[in-house]
Amino acid sequence: MTTGWEVHPWMLRWNGLAVDQLRRTESVFALSNGHLGMRGTLDEGEPRGLPGTYLNGFYEEHALPYGEPGYGYPEAGQTVVNVTDGKVIRLLVEDEPLDMRYGRAHVHRRELDFRTGTLRRHTEWESPTGRRVTVRTERLVSLTQRAVAAILYEVEPSEDVQLVLQSDLLANEPVEHDSDDPRVAAALNEPLVSDFAHVEDFRAVLAHHARNSGLRMAAAMDHELEVEDGVRTEIRAEKDLARFTAAVDVPAGGKLRLVKYLGYGWSAQRSVPALRAQVEAALAGARQTGWEGLLAEQRRFLDDFWEVADIDLQGDDEMQQAVRFALFHIMQAAVRGETRAIPGKGLTGPGYDGHAFWDTEMFVLPVLAYTVPEAARDALRWRHSTLGKARERAAVLGQGGAAFPWRSISGAECSAYWPASTAAFHVSGDVSHAVAQYVNATGDTAFERECGAEILVETARLWTSLGHHDPHGGFRIDGVTGPDEYSAVEDNNVYTNLIAQKNLRSAADACDRHPDVAERLDVTAEEVQGWRKAADGMVIPFDSLLGVHEQAEGFTSHAEWDFDGTDADEYPLLLNRPYFDLYRKQVIKQADLVLAMHVRGDAFTPLQKARNFAYYEPRTVRDSSLSAGTQAVLAAEVGALQLAYDYLAEAVFTDVYDLHHNVHNGLHMASLAGAWVGLVAGFGGMRDHDGELSFAPRLPPGLTRMAFRMSFRGTRFAVEVEPGKVTYRIVAGGPLHTRHHGVPVVVEPGLPATLSTPDPPEPPDLRQPPHRAPVRRVPPGARP
């Protein structure tokens, strides 16, 4: 039995069992809906890599360690908690437990289906004493019933046997933690304190609270059991365990069928009885819908999602599979989050302690704004709900307005390293950028009035407080850190300044559109005039000698990094070189100025983009998974299509092939989003500056066709790229007003528009640091 991935356009299938790869496959096979997440552990619970069940926003607190504390340092950290595990279903054949480490698996495969939204398993197992059974399971986390998960478990023996099933709710299951901080490990050692346990018939409920944060949660399970003959059942519960047991004699060719329904909920305010009622109601709804009904709901939801979000590639089957994998995981990380954050790892693992970063606004939300805009809106509503904490943080830092955190679960700053966190004020501009982008993409004025305008106003106030007008008429923002984490505490970081400039103008425009909202927020005409003056005077450093923009003031005068003297195994540099040395050299962890040229491309000429990209490309080492997708966009824009495709592949395959060797802690949501960004913004040339939607499509090398779908202000449409031509087609809704390579186009329903594509520009001379070039991607169909 060959072990490994199998290529398929609509699913990800792993054949065989590799125990040493379980942590990796558990992340890849994770299911989520933005509220509830379950890692893809085996049904029987063992062998396992890193078990995990997560509720978005449910966390434990711990002290943040400082060797030398200082004013304004955050005092408490937050870490996502592995809550009560309801996935476990153990099988005993006679008295032998099904354990993939023992006996023999004649067939074993698992597959994540992107169209059904389920994780399926097929195992033909022979026990050590020679008894054979076939086990088929299917697991889902409902995309329509937010608190519900369900599992179908079927067993068919090849001879007359006695089968015993044990279905568990298990809290405080032992989990290994990677943190080097003993305070974090201590906080996560049995973090759940039992409040309530109850069983009745085939149903059980466990309620707990987190020991330090005090957050409460409840989990419940219920069962439907189908057998041909009599069955003996029992159910019991203690503080951390509820177990339903069924014993039955099944004849050869017979079948044991179990459906397990799960309900989850948590709250910082509701009582234990209220949470019990909530999860029992979720179970009642799931039972009423039934297993087949849940499957049908899941399929309908995903049919609608793929109608608006699918990307179809012809000529590279591996890329096709990985792109749909990426889109599926981005969708399920957010779609039922409903005013919760989208963590950097989604709900696929404990990486980054379950925190949300600026990645959400700058990488993930662009995908959602044009495919599942309701999910983008809900994520921004979460930011709005944390404005009070952001104002408090700004005040602690001696600034006005609101300063959103570098990393957080609740909205409070949780980073203990201020040069790369507190100083990264661009986060607040990133949030405002996402607000403006969402409003432009959807025309959702109700959201802008209720939430968006207030975010724009408070972040604009931060910039006018943080920056200052210099004697030369410029507006400066000094002492900040941009996206590049190998630079810190710089003056006039171009990305930060351009994001702030857009923030200031967006806030002023929103106040002009909604004067009553401006009045409610105490915005005066003088304040709006001050925002526009600051935006118009924003300092954008440019090195006239080299003819390139400086990443930050003085960056191009820094000493060059000794790339030739840096061995391949010294990357990532942050683990092998001192930050002191990184901060004062021209070495870039991830796209910074290059990211600015993507999201604020309206501030650069084509010649400037080409020269800037050629300068920064050999200095960017991509020690972050955030970088490749953005570099793909700029490579495509300047005409380096093969390089763009190579970077796209790196972003797309980061998790499927575990390129950074850390998928065991969860998937990289921003890198998965980079698949969409690289294809739609890169090869599709999609830009949305100031709400003006435009495209400049070019077919990637090796592909015979590329088609992607989007939604813009209620209109769903497809862009189909073939050699030498592009067709724009309305899928649903009204006409689309856009631009094709700079030429205005109106696409009417029922009247597709087919246009020619010009040749790409001649790319500049581009090279990468030694050992850091992306692996060249040659599509299988183009290989000799």
Residue 627 near residue 598, CB atoms below 8 Å: no
Structure tokens belonging to residue 476: 């400066």
How many Cβ atoms are within 10 Å of 642's Cβ, its own excluded? 15
Residue 498 near residue 596, CB atoms below 8 Å: yes
Nearest by Cα to 728 from 703, 704, 708, 698: 708
Which residues does 395 contact at the CB level (< 8 Å), separation at least 6?
Answer: none
Token pair 């699913």 is found at 11
485 annotated active-site: yes
Structure tokens belonging to residue 121: 């398993």
Q: Phi/psi of residue 420, each to 5°?
A: -105, 5
Residue 494 near residue 552, CB atoms below 8 Å: yes
Token pair 């810190």 is found at 488
Q: Would you list the DSSP string of 154-215?
A: EEEESS-EEEEEEEEEE-S-------S-HHHHHHTSS-EEEEEEEEETTEEEEEEEETTT--
Nearest by Cα to 159 from 136, 122, 131: 131
Rounded distance between C-alpha atoms, residue 336 and residue 282, angstroms: 15
Helix (H) or strand (E) holding 368: helix 365-369
Rounded distance between C-alpha atoms, residue 261 and residue 244, angstroms: 12
Q: Would you list the DSSP string of 43-59?
A: TT--S-S---EEETT-E
Alpha helices in 51-94 (DSSP H): none
Question: Choosing from 485, 527, 550, 720, which is the catalytic residue?
Answer: 485
Rounded distance between C-alpha atoms, residue 418 and residue 396, angstroms: 13
Which residues does 607 contact at the CB level (< 8 Å), separation at least 6?
Answer: none
Question: Each residue of 728-755: b (16+ CB within 10 Å) or e?
Answer: bbbeeeeebebebbeeebebeeeeebee
Which residues does 323 contact at the CB level (< 8 Å), separation at least 6?
Answer: 311, 313, 652, 675, 676, 679
- Rounded to whole angstroms, what are the CA distances from 256 to 163, 228, 406, 497, 755? 8, 8, 50, 63, 58
Residue 406 near residue 413, CB atoms below 8 Å: yes
Which residues does 484 contact at the CB level (< 8 Å), separation at least 6?
Answer: 551, 588, 589, 590, 591, 592
Q: How far is CA 769 from the centre of its chain?
A: 28
Instruction: State the catalytic residues.
Output: 485
